[in-house]
Amino acid sequence: MSYDPNNVFAKILRGELPKFQVYEDARTLAFMDVMPQAEGHTLIIPKLAASQDILDVPVEDLEAVIATTQKVARAVKTAMDAPGVMVLQLSGAPAGQTVFHLHFHVIPRFHGLELKFHARSMEAPEKLKANADKIKAALAA
């Protein structure tokens, strides 16, 4: 299977689909997951690499996306007042990957909150915006 330039994240990068952006630099983009597994669930993607997963991404782009993932994970933990965060990356359909553009999930974790593998309901845009604003404020602090 080759990279599909019409996947949802490629469309977000081209500005064809909306996003609730949290962070952007020359090589990476972080934005809210529209079907979050927990409040504050954020996605981090490379902007330049047409890579399906961690197995085919150039090392330079992987380094950039990992650095942004760490930065965003710290901000998500602070913004959501979470005792922990889960960083998740799925490679290939058998692993559960559904969007074939490399991405990392940062999911705030709380004791006693059950986590489903994939959320299936869309979050209200106003809630996504409010959570994105909290995370951006934590990044700026």
Kindly list the catalytic residues: 103
Q: What is the 3-state secondary structure (H, E, C) of the chain?
A: CCCCCCCHHHHHHCCCCCCCEEEECCCEEEEECCCCCCCCCEEEEECCCCCCCCCCCCHHHHHHHHHHHHHHHHHHHHHCCCCEEEEECCCCHHHCCCCCCCCEEEEEECCCCCCCCCCCCCCCHHHHHHHHHHHHHHHHC
Q: Which residue has the tokens 């949802």?
A: 8
